[in-house]
Amino acid sequence: MSRTLWLSVVGTLALFTLMLPGDATACPYCTAGQATFSEELAGADAAVIAVEVRRAEPPAGKSKSDPFAPEPKTKFKVIEVVKGDKLVKIGAEIEVLYFGRQPVGTQFYMTAVDPKMLAWNTPIALNETSLAYLRKLPTLPKEGADRLFFFQDFLESPEEIITRDSYDEFAKAPYEAVKDLKPRMKHGQIVAWVKDNKIPASRRRLYLTMLGVCGGPEDLPMLEKMITSGDQDSKLVLDALLGAYLILRGPDGMDLVDKEYLANPDAKYTDIWSTIQSLRVLGQISQAIPKARLVKSFRLMLERPNLADLVIPDLARWEDWDSTDRLVKLFKDSEDAGSFIRVPVMRFLMANPKPEAKAQLEELKKLDPEAFKRANLFFPGVPSKDTAPATSEADTKLPKAPGEQPDGPKSKVAPPKLDKT
């Protein structure tokens, strides 16, 4: 697939996706890395605490590199049944593939599926802290601020396994829950985490989101310094940084955002991308910035034709039909029939309910019938008024800026089960 066609496909997908209903998550700038302990337990048929009784060793007389040697297994003995007491009993022995080298007496957490023949997942080594954490999970409220209150205290635990699980709980919770947590947030601790560049960008995004909820005017100088510093560590969290700043600063903060990024000809593409994504999310989760002010900033991209396709879906979702003539002109002025701006413009016109938009679409169809075909190829038909402009998970779950190294696995579908060790 050529770059031009690929960009057209992306534009079409974006416009369609932005018009699907969905719910904002507690950290719309975060992506959960894996299933949480609670999710794993809910999906398991059995869960146990066990200790190692026989370590896996290579078969006698055979080399470790022997491809025909059977895989050695480690034997564990169940000392506590967390779930599935009809399927497994205390004292039962379980053999699984495990090549860790934990001290003798270490306790492990193990889950299994398939009640007819339990298939055990990789054991997870626990200490007293993580074991106590694990035992507390089934007693927590199923959702809401009371649940997040528990995980807040473990967000930067010395135990990485606990930190990751607590982060994932926040990343998957409803945004309303984090707002309800505001009275119990530890503002000083959150500010310290925001400033700590040693903390992975994924978690700093969460802390910036939380700061946008519990912060105040006293935090604005710090955030403004981060925005204007050009520091790479700040750029890695730019989407959440701008979100927190604008929620606390209000519409007046948009002038700084425009100056630094959207109206700055020297701004890097990755920073512009992060800014657009941040404003897109902000328009869905907060009333801090009126839609009209967001539209004003997004229109700046129409003065930069090579970047205009980034905002056309948003202008359609926010029903900025006053930009129609400008977009039609961009279509006509585009350099060639393969221009990646043409499909998004056509999708914009398809969503536009004004009578003249239909005539303009017909005119552009004659100019570039292939672009019209691509605009209808993936999602034929005009988005209905009933489906636009609803919030979508795609709006509120931001991808990384191009070129940024991910902090963990990312997927819009259920994440694969990963070893937490």
Where helices occur in 230-286 by DSSP H, the ranges are 232-235, 238-249, 254-257, 269-285
Judge residue 84's burial from the number of C-beta atoms within 10 Å of its C-beta, 0-12 exposed, 13-18 middle, 19 or more buried: middle
Q: Domain range spanning residue 112?
A: 46-60+73-127
Q: Is residue 388 part of a domain?
A: yes
pLDDT tens, position by position, 36-89: 999 999 999 999 999 998 877 655 555 555 555 556 788 999 999 999 999 999
Residue 293: the pLDDT is: 97
Q: Is residue 185 part of a domain?
A: yes
Where helices occur in 196-237 by DSSP H, the ranges are 201-214, 220-229, 232-235
Residue 390: the pLDDT is: 37
- Same domain as 363, residue 258: yes
Answer for the pair 148, 170: CB distance below 8 angstroms, yes or no. Answer: yes
Q: In the numeric block, which tokens belong to residue 345?
A: 């413009």
Backbone phi, psi, residue 107, to 5°: -95, 145
- Same domain as 185, residue 78: no
With a cut of 70, list the residues of the chain below it in pLDDT.
1-26, 57-71, 337-338, 378-421
CATH number for 376: 1.25.10
Per-residue burial over 342-373, b if 16 or more Cβ lie within 10 Å, else e, is bbbbbbbbbbbeeeebeebbeebbeebeebbe
Q: In the numeric block, which tokens belong to residue 6?
A: 């690929």
What residues form DSSP beta bridges with 77? 51, 93
Q: Which residues, other chains included, contact 72 with Cβ-Cβ below 8 Å and sequence gap of 6+?
A: 56, 57, 58, 59
- Region of 114 please: left (phi>0), alpha (psi -120 to 50) or beta: left
Crossing angle for the helix pair 220-229 and 238-249, nearest 10 degrees?
Answer: 140
What total of structural domains would you count in the chain? 2
- Same domain as 288, residue 367: yes
Single pTM value for the model: 0.79
- Same domain as 50, residue 19: no
Q: Is residue 168 part of a domain?
A: no
- Same domain as 190, residue 123: no
Per-residue burial over 25-63, b if 16 or more Cβ lie within 10 Å, else e, is bbbbbbbbbbbbbbbbbeebbbbbbbebeeebeeeeeee
- Same domain as 328, residue 231: yes
Q: Is residue 115 part of a domain?
A: yes
- Same domain as 182, residue 93: no
Q: Is residue 156 part of a domain?
A: no
Q: Is residue 146 part of a domain?
A: no
pLDDT tens, position by position, 63-76: 555 555 556 788 99
Q: Roughly how many angstroms between the first and final C-alpha of the chain, as a whole number? A: 39
Q: Is residue 162 part of a domain?
A: no
**SS3 label, residue 282:** helix
- Same domain as 108, residue 12: no
- Same domain as 190, residue 102: no
- Same domain as 78, residue 18: no
- Same domain as 318, residue 191: yes
Residue 180: the pLDDT is: 96
Encode 317-354 in three state secondary structure: HCCCHHHHHHHHHHHHHCCCCCCCCHHHHHHHHHHCCC
- Same domain as 190, residue 322: yes
Q: Is residue 411 part of a domain?
A: no
